[in-house]
Structure 1
Amino acid sequence: MRRWIVTFIAIALCLTAGSAWVYFSNQKVLAQSFVLSNQVFRAEFSKGVSKDVLEKGEVYVTDDKNARIEADFQLKNNGKSLEISGLSNGKYTLHVDEKFSLGKSKYTFEVQESLPVVHSRGELEDYFKLVMSTRENVVTEETMEMSAAEDKSSGTADYSTTNNQVKGVEEADIVQTNGSHVFVISENKVVINNIENPSNMKQESKIQFTESFYPSQLLLKEELLLVIGQKNMYHTLEATDSAPRIEPDWESMTGVFLYDISNPKAPKLIRELASEGYTNGVRLKGNMLYIVSTIMPRYWAMEENDDMELRPFTYDSKTDKEAQPLDYEQISILPDSLDGNYTVITALNISEPLVNEVKTRSFLGGSQELYMSTESLFLTSAIYKNDEATTMSKRLWGPGQLDTMVYKFSIKDTIVDFVGSATLTGTILNQFSMDEHNGYFRTVTTTGNLWDQNNPSENNIFILDETMNMVGSITGLAKEERIYSARFMGDKAYMVTFRETDPLFVIDVANPTNPKVLGELKIPGFSNYLHPLGEKHLIGFGYETSSIVPVGSKEPIIQTEGMKISLFDVSDFDSPKEVDTEVIGGQGTYSPIQYDHHALFQHNEKNLYGFPVTIYEKEEGQEYSSYKQDGAFIYEITPEKGIVLKASLLNKDNQAQQYEEWGTMIHRLIYSNNSIFTIGMKEMKSYQLDTFKETGVLSY
């Protein structure tokens, strides 16, 4: 009896907050409770239904006056998906006839022109109570993938720029340069080094931060340096006669410090911003700065503290003395979200950083992966759908079916507006699995689990229109494998999957309504990151693999070996080829380029590509590889010559070490004019660009 009461309460709460599973004896339904007027209403059935259901009126919609509505009903996905279009703004009820359940089911939803805002604390409390009720009986295990990868921005200046995914959209990194100076994050400070004379580099100044702020990323725009990191910030809690508070009087926030560096010897702090939560992403488009943070509020403490603050905190040194909670009017609940986390999006035009106003909006619906084009911002959130029949033992080992909600926002100056959302089957690996082109959103996903025979993995590509309605897809690719990397290049998509071999798929997405697989290449190893080399070649950075039979076993297993660079020729889309390879070191060898695309060095004119590397090798008689050396490699990579090693910039002072040391490792490579610089946490070196001869060293 208690279970049915809990279910009833959960369903009632869902009327104001997204969507929920509604349980019947024969059918399980997932339906939206809110939809924008430019989107279709969707309902998902656990079991497929036939068109007869619609023709006989066993599933229908009524308006707020209980009158049946004429609309366009379409069944898709073998009868498991129902789409309803042609509804004007208003409140409606979806009816599922008693033939599909123990009694007639009604599910209320609303069509509106725009995303409504939260009006009161009570609405937030209802939402978080619903989140808690849906999580009480679900045991899941989450795995976080480290995101990586992007396309080098081109510029007219003769110095390095950050390796960005989208041209015109700058991403933050641990190192920045303007050609004359290098700005480096070194532990709890930012070091500003003069590199105008590479043989006599000088530290001109440093920005030292307190223990309450830890810098992690930098952006550079002309004479403005932005330092991004995590900051503990205090706020005042109002006195109360209630029980002692569980919530602390400080918040972990994403902090942004804006410095005037017109005089690099004396950087001047001109403004400070902060938004609660950890940093999900920072982007700079022209003069427009966008900061996205994610926070899990302490809603579980509501029972102990009735007056605890449920809203995110923000801070702007221009207007605030301390962190302040957002106004309710700045908060919206995203449709179909029971994530329980906040996403905070902050926008500022930095053309006049002292004067311009900050705009902040917060959305209930957490964000995991982030992709931003020049027109839109896309955020993803995981959806767990555990089948009732799933045993507890299986739930302990895996999260059941994991799907993804994708939210789209338009970005115009400081105005960030919600456009629409879509539920996609499977998980999205990282930002390179997403792309926007000519108004269409394209993405690749993996469904199922790699080693689960009951729910084997397979891969998909989905294409959605400007309002996030599905227009094209391919499903069921590379069964029993998962995606390791992807890259969209105009009308083509490239996808690497892996289990025992590395299939590289070439997919034609020129016609959004009819994507087609053109070619497939199977080779040993896999690529974690794909980088374009013109329009007809790709460079893959990943691992070599081998098949071995363990002692006492008859079945072979696949194990990773050294780091692998592959050059792919995709000029013949139907028959891609791996035309050259390079394997570095043995098992355990790695480079940050395999999980962080910003680590890629590129000199376009000289066709040079470089990256930091840590080398492990197995000596004769050893069972396992051991640490040998670290440093950086630079290659010339062209379609004509293939992959040619040009320089091994290895640290000779640490050859006797038994393991790598973070402080002495090379983390980035940049160039300026005729010099290359290797940059670590405590030291940078300069080399001649033509001969790679060392010319200078600077410790800091």
Structure 2
Amino acid sequence: MTKKDLFDGLNYIDDQIIEEAQPTGESAGYSDEIYVKNHETHHGGKEDKNRKKHKKFARAAKALATVAAVLVVAVLGTEVVRLNNRIDELETKTANVISQNNAQNNVYAGIKSGAKLGDYESASDYGKLYDVAKKAEASIRNTASGDLLETADATGIMSDASSTNKQESAANTEYSTTNVMTEGVDESDVVKTDGKYIYMVEEGQISITDISKGKPGEETLFRPDFEVPSDTVEELYISDGKMLIISNHAGDKDETICYSYDIADPTKPVLIGKARQDGFYNTSRKIGNTVYVFSDTYIKTSDMNKNVALQEDNLEKWVPQVNGKVISYDCFYIGENTYSGTVISSFDVDKPDKTIDAKCIMNNSGEVYVSSNAMYLYHSDWSASRELTKISKISFEDGVMKTGETTSVNGYLNDKFAINEQGGYLYVLPTSNTGSQPVNSLHVLDKDMNEVGVINEIARGESIYAARFVGKYVYFITYRQTDPFFVADISNPTAPKLLGELEVSGFSEYLHMWDDTHVLGIGYGDSQQSKIKLTMFDVSDPTKPVEVNQKLIDSSESWSNEFVYNYKAILADPEKNMIGFTANDYYLYSYDSENGFSLLEQQALTYKNTEGYRGIYKDNDFYVAGNGEIKHFKLAE
């Protein structure tokens, strides 16, 4: 027996360990694109076939390794140390295989996807995930207070434009819905209506008020089936006779729990089921019956060494879970120096306990933009010693997620509407601080996240405050000195160009396409933010935009206006001719070219400088709902 023969034999063992670690046939869960590892233990306490096979193989591998060691001593002598190290390596690998296969009953493997998400790589095993998290924790301790880790639990075309959609019930009742970023992609909120009832988040419970007869009628206070009374209700969805309540549970591990109810009788909701995932609730989207939930989580390994952490019974202590199962290691996409990230899960509102897919992107968390067929996760990245926005693309269909590419652009996104997908391209409007002055740019990325078009050096000295992509144009406002309103042509993605600009006083925080030739702006008239400003821009000639009307509203006593940072707090409905928002009181305006902005109603609110109020209409009835109260008035015929 030669040295080569022995090493070939040990390498064969190594190959067999790897081969045996891969599920095969039906047990692997492969069915075209779908990959689900869900090995159930047979009744009567018997181990499943995979476990038996791995234990049997482990014993054989160890025995063969031992025999090889004896032969090594007898034949080669001088190679003992080297070969013993190789045997130790194989035994460790075998133990890893056994641990990971024994844990399969408690692992949610998700949908088979790419091995990469741009420069994020899929973890090769839980050990790799542990190593990356451990390294990031050490780096953080070297640069910040050690208390950070201990207190982290408590910290937590027109169709592409946002729209306050109008819906009609079976009885042809018109009612408003939530102002969303992407038409056809619903978003959760603190107040919803189905045209018959108003559903409102109210201190850990849901207030359900009958509005079928116009004036608010009987109210039902409903508390979800919380496992822990201190859990909080964040937002909800209402559609097709279902209510989905999203809550946060704070504890040793933050958890987002979604409760799905049948509301055929809204006064008596019936629980359908629950979906849960680790991490503090960030945001969610709903397309048809499919819900996508995003939560911010982190991997805390500081109290366990690696050998202990990788034991089957300990995985759930540090690996994020969905519906009670740890996410499979190959559904984690990891970068350098990060122990926090975004958990994404999808489920059908009718079957919330049946996870469709799950991923965890270790990207230090951040913001989310969702189009009709892809989600983009983006966050600030300082790894290159300059400010970048890192953007990762994950496409989806019916809950199944497919990882794509990742890219970076200079600067940061100052407005949620500064990113938009249409026609297969992603458009991004970042502001970067180069030298002593900010400067802006427009980037166009193709489906593979490659830059195919760009406009640099836009409005040096200014920062983008609001943007709106509509069809072949993008409109945006900058603020600092001259406060211009810009129009850019994006009809040719490879050659975007600025068309026109207009200097205005004040600045807009939100832009909304009012009709084919007018853009509505809502913001402030001065830098002190003492006056809210409504603006109407005429963009019939995009090379020469004109401010045709404006309205200033005293807001000197209002120090917190939710419309500034939450577009869902705005009602902008051109068809009903309504513009509504809260600034201490609730204001409802209409607009016409002759009279400009006209006040329809000003409703005093009980709680000043408080977020959570929403304006809702149903036919000619209008409601201001939020914080446990509902104001009602009739609209003019």
TM-score by length of 2: 0.73
Shift of residue 268 of structure 1?
1.2
Q: Which moved more, 1:479-488 or 1:307-316?
A: 307-316
1:576 and 2:545 are equivalent in the alignment: yes
1:259 and 2:261 are equivalent in the alignment: yes
2:361 counterpart (353, 360, 363): 363
Q: In 2, distance between residues paired with 1:170 and 1:482? A: 29
Cα displacement string for residues 358-393 of structure 1 (whole angstroms, at most 9, x for unaligned residues): 321222223311111111100102211475xxxxxx
Q: In 2, distance between residues paired with 1:276 and 1:430? A: 28
What are the residue-to-residue correspondences of 1:539-558 with 2, within 5 Å? 539-545=520-526, 558=527
1:444 and 2:429 are equivalent in the alignment: yes
Q: In 1, distance between residues paired with 2:257 and 2:380? A: 26
Q: In 2, distance between residues paired with 1:228 and 1:354? A: 12
What are the residue-to-residue correspondences of 1:57-206 with 2, within 5 Å? 117-132=122-137, 135=140, 150-157=162-169, 158-199=174-215, 201-206=217-222
Give 1:341's aligned residue.
Answer: 340
Shift of residue 353 of structure 1?
2.3
Give 1:684's aligned residue.
Answer: 630
1:611 and 2:616 are equivalent in the alignment: no
Q: Alpha carbons of 1:455 and 1:123: their partners in 2 closer, same or farther (altered >3 Å)?
A: farther
Give 1:81's aligned residue.
Answer: none
Q: Alpha carbons of 1:648 and 1:344: their partners in 2 closer, same or farther (altered >3 Å)?
A: same
What are the residue-to-residue correspondences of 1:281-430 with 2, within 5 Å? 281-301=283-303, 307=309, 309=315, 311-316=318-323, 323-333=324-334, 338-350=337-349, 352-353=350-351, 357-385=355-383, 387=385, 401-430=386-415
Contact 2:603 2:631 in 1 (8 A): no
Q: In 2, distance between residues paired with 1:412 and 1:495? A: 31
Q: In 2, distance between residues paired with 1:537 and 1:338? A: 47
Q: Alpha carbons of 1:219 and 1:411: their partners in 2 closer, same or farther (altered >3 Å)?
A: same
Q: In 1, distance between residues paired with 2:595 and 2:320? A: 55
Amino acid at match of 2:220: E
Amino acid at match of 1:521: L
Shift of residue 223 of structure 1?
0.9
Q: Alpha carbons of 1:113 and 1:314: their partners in 2 closer, same or farther (altered >3 Å)?
A: closer
Give 2:28's aligned residue.
Answer: none
2:492 counterpart (511, 525, 543): 511
Larger proportion of helix: 2
Contact 1:337 1:365 in 2 (8 A): no
2:588 counterpart (613, 634, 637): 634
1:218 and 2:236 are equivalent in the alignment: yes
Contact 2:275 2:352 in 1 (8 A): no
Q: In 1, distance between residues paired with 2:140 and 2:495? A: 39
Structure 1 portions without partners, runs of 5+: 1-111, 142-148, 234-249, 317-322, 388-400, 546-557, 615-630, 692-700
Match of 2:591, SS? strand
1:643 and 2:597 are equivalent in the alignment: yes
Cα displacement string for residues 528-579 of structure 1 (whole angstroms, at most 9, x for unaligned residues): 111110222111111111xxxxxxxxxxxx5332111111111111111111
Contact 2:299 2:320 in 1 (8 A): no
Amino acid at match of 2:616: I
Q: Alpha carbons of 1:661 and 1:510: their partners in 2 closer, same or farther (altered >3 Å)?
A: closer
Considering Cα pairs closer than 8 Å and 6+ residues apart, tell me whether 1 or 2 has the greater RCO.
2
Amino acid at match of 1:502: D
Match of 1:124, SS? helix
2:569 counterpart (596, 599, 602): 599
Larger proportion of strand: 1
Give 1:108's aligned residue.
Answer: none
Match of 1:571, SS? coil
Amino acid at match of 2:257: G
Amino acid at match of 1:649: Q
2:534 counterpart (565, 585, 594): 565
Supply the RMSD in Å over aligned alpha carbons. 2.7
Q: In 1, distance between residues paired with 2:535 and 2:352? A: 47
Amino acid at match of 2:340: N
Q: In 1, distance between residues paired with 2:456 and 2:371? A: 25
Match of 2:608, SS? coil
Match of 2:177, SS? coil
Q: Alpha carbons of 1:325 and 1:455: their partners in 2 closer, same or farther (altered >3 Å)?
A: farther
Q: Which moved more, 1:535-544 or 1:170-179?
A: 535-544
Give 1:487's aligned residue.
Answer: 468
Match of 1:211, SS? coil
Give 1:272's aligned residue.
Answer: 274
Structure 2 portions without partners, runs of 5+: 1-113, 149-160
Give 1:474's aligned residue.
Answer: 455
Q: Alpha carbons of 1:460 and 1:159: their partners in 2 closer, same or farther (altered >3 Å)?
A: same
Cα displacement string for residues 414-466 of structure 1 (whole angstroms, at most 9, x for unaligned residues): 211111111111111243111111100001001117xxxx4421111110000
Q: Alpha carbons of 1:113 and 1:342: their partners in 2 closer, same or farther (altered >3 Å)?
A: closer
Percent identical among aligned pairs is: 28
Cα displacement string for residues 491-510 of structure 1 (whole angstroms, at most 9, x for unaligned residues): 11112111133211111111
Q: Alpha carbons of 1:494 and 1:138: their partners in 2 closer, same or farther (altered >3 Å)?
A: farther
Q: Alpha carbons of 1:431 and 1:586: their partners in 2 closer, same or farther (altered >3 Å)?
A: closer
1:530 and 2:511 are equivalent in the alignment: yes
Q: In 2, distance between residues paired with 1:677 and 1:305? A: 59
Q: Alpha carbons of 1:300 and 1:491: their partners in 2 closer, same or farther (altered >3 Å)?
A: farther
Match of 1:171, SS? coil
Q: In 1, distance between residues paired with 2:124 and 2:480? A: 50
Shift of residue 154 of structure 1?
3.8
Cα displacement string for residues 118-153 of structure 1 (whole angstroms, at most 9, x for unaligned residues): 232221133224434655666799xxxxxxx93222
Contact 2:133 2:300 in 1 (8 A): no
Shift of residue 355 of structure 1?
7.8
Contact 2:338 2:364 in 1 (8 A): yes
Contact 2:569 2:613 in 1 (8 A): yes
Contact 1:632 1:666 in 2 (8 A): no
Amino acid at match of 1:611: F
